[in-house]
Amino acid sequence: MEHKEVSVLIGGRAGEGISSAGQVIAQMLGHQGYRVHMYYDYPSLIKGGHNFAIIRGADQKIGAVRNTVDFLLALNQETVDLHREKLTSEGVLVFRSDAANAEGVAVPVKRLLEEEGAPAVMGNSAILGAFVRAAGMDWEVAETVLRKAIPKQIDTNLRIARRAYDEAEVKTRISPLGAKALPVVTGNEAIGLGLIQSGLGLYCGYPMSPTSNLLHFLVSHGTELRIRVIQPESETAAILMALGCAYAGIRAAVGTSGGGFCLMVEALSLAGIAELPVLVVLGQRTGPSTGLATYTAQADLQFALGAGQADFPRLITAPGDADELMAWAAACLDLTWKYQLPAILLSDKTLCEGMYSLDTSQMRHLQIDLELADKNVSPYTRYSLTESGISPLRFPPASGEIIRVNSHVHDPDGITTENEETTKAMADKRMRKMRGLAEEIEAMDPVHLGGDVDASTALLCWGSNKGICEELGTKMGLRVIQPVVLWPFPERSFARVCKGVERMFTVECNESGQLARLVRQFGYASEDVILKYNGRPFFVDELEALLGRAIS
């Protein structure tokens, strides 16, 4: 059978390397020219419990998986029992014959390991080798990808994979698509790459799913990248370190989830009034409170919009795939520095810990310049009242100058004041920055238009629902509108992509339709909101059915 798309589910116990094995499969499909997405499902525990990953490859960019799979790779009986139903009628089951009873491609993992004198951790190489053969892929695919993906003891791993490959039989054929092979990354990695691209100097994070792996990713390359990565005592400390760092002229970012962001809010308004740049990566998970630690949601949009006391300018973006995460992480860091304000990059568990094909060739490298003060002009005025609202920057030490930043209402020198004219003038100055930012944003393609772009019925979505809405929009003849920048709300770009829209349906992973509420402020009403809030992302077939019902 000729595949235009293929889905693989691999499952086992927590601690058995499901995520790494999933990544290898994703890379194999990527190597064959597929555009891939991996959904990774795991409970909040360390060892035991059931983990699984669904890897889907297609001939177009995708961002979601199906409920059905073509291959089921089972490391234990539980995986067979839980997921057998998902296997299509022609689907192939590959299983550890020493850990499960089933019919299909039996892989005697224990025996292969014993014969090669290899440790148990290499068991997945056997499953992967058998899968490559069962899927009719050339040995070259396994060898190339394993060599890149497995840093340690690659030769033994390859021998094990090869033996399993040789013992298995071809069941079907995943043929190469002929398209350019794209690299596969997690959303956290894409964010990290964007930050690196735009000159990150310091990253602070207090561990919290789903952004802990951004912390781990950056620290694992910290020495090579010559950046510092710090885990402080709390999220409060993390963001304050970033602000101290920004005051002294070094680019900093922090990452957290909703619970940690609650603690950061105090410093967010400090960044607002003191006009200090900082980027907060807010990886949403199911809430409220501790919620579901390792499952997804898009329920912190309204929180991000309103976080902090009083009004101050901020930038909020919600990229929808790896390409956008990387591009906008870079752009956000640049923009926070240019406009001296806090930015929030909204992500979620689906994006952060899922995997995506990354196409950097489509990415625009925006050059955003800082306004630095002329060092020959003395005295330096930290909060000079300018037309744009942007006060050119200098950093301490500056000989003969005093550089003050202040959380109180302050005068242009940064000295505390209670004067009524100054209070208003400073508030106006801060808000003027928003005008410039909004203008600049409009020129940055802030609202993605996709699907059937001329259709009069539109799907409105944000963040991780981009991929699934694009796919179904194209299939079902619906226009897809995905604002990447949510604040300042890109009114002109939004109006442009909405031209000719007669019916609008919003798709979100929260209980109340938070994006629908935001756009309503600008006069756009949704006929219906299609919501999911059980911690899992929409599956393709599921959303297709829901949309069919809503729109008919």
Partner 1 sequence: MNLISRAPNVWCPGCGNFTIQQALKEVITQLAAEEYPVENNVLVAGIGQHGKLFDYMNLNGFYGLHGRTIPIAAGIRLANPNLQVLCVAGDGDCYAEGLDHLIFGAKRNLNVTVLVHNNRVYALTTGQYTPTSTKGYRGRSTPEGIEELPLNPLELMLVSGASFIARGYTGRREQLQGLIREAILHRGFAFVDILQVCVTYNNLTRYYNEHVYDWTKEGVEDYEKAWEKAREWDYNTDAKIGLGVLYRHRAPTFEENHPVPEPLTRDERRTFIENLLDRRV
User: Can you give the binding site for partner 1, defined by CB under 8 A?
Assistant: 27, 30-31, 148-149, 181-185, 193, 196-197, 199, 201-202, 221, 224-228, 230, 232-234, 236-238, 240-250, 252, 266-267, 270, 274, 358, 360, 395-408, 410, 414-416
- The residue among 273 and 437 lying less far from partner 1, judged by its C-beta, is 273
Q: Which residues, 6+ apart, have CB-to-CB distance to 285 below 8 Å?
A: 209, 210, 257, 258, 291, 292, 293, 294, 295, 296, 297, 348, 349
The structure tokens listed for 544 are: 């297709």
- The residue among 31 and 66 lying less far from partner 1, judged by its C-beta, is 31
DSSP readout, 416-474? B---HHHHHHHHHHHHHHHHHHHHHHHTT--EEEEESTT-SEEEEE-GGGHHHHHHHHH
- The residue among 67 and 419 lying less far from partner 1, judged by its C-beta, is 419
Of the candidates 551, 542, 523, 406, which has an alpha carbon nearest to the alpha carbon of residue 471? 542
Q: Are 414 and 383 in contact (CB under 8 A)?
A: yes
State the nearest-atom distance from the C-beta of 108 to partner 1, in Å: 31
Of the candidates 90, 69, 80, 58, which has an alpha carbon nearest to the alpha carbon of residue 8? 69
- The residue among 198 and 464 lying less far from partner 1, judged by its C-beta, is 198
- Please report, for residues 9, 21, 112, 365, the alpha-carbon distance to residue 136 in angstroms, rounded to integers and kept in the order given: 17, 18, 21, 39
State the nearest-atom distance from the C-beta of 29 to partner 1, in Å: 11
- Please report, for residues 1, 87, 247, 254, 450, the alpha-carbon distance to residue 277 in angstroms, rounded to integers and kept in the order given: 54, 50, 8, 12, 32
State the nearest-atom distance from the C-beta of 383 to partner 1, in Å: 12
- The residue among 135 and 146 lying less far from partner 1, judged by its C-beta, is 146
State the nearest-atom distance from the C-beta of 195 to partner 1, in Å: 10
- The residue among 88 and 419 lying less far from partner 1, judged by its C-beta, is 419
State the nearest-atom distance from the C-beta of 240 to partner 1, in Å: 4
Q: Which residues, 6+ apart, have CB-to-CB distance to 255 below 8 Å?
A: 191, 203, 205, 211, 214, 215, 280, 281, 282, 283
State the nearest-atom distance from the C-beta of 15 to partner 1, in Å: 24
State the nearest-atom distance from the C-beta of 397 to partner 1, in Å: 4
- The residue among 27 and 51 lying less far from partner 1, judged by its C-beta, is 27
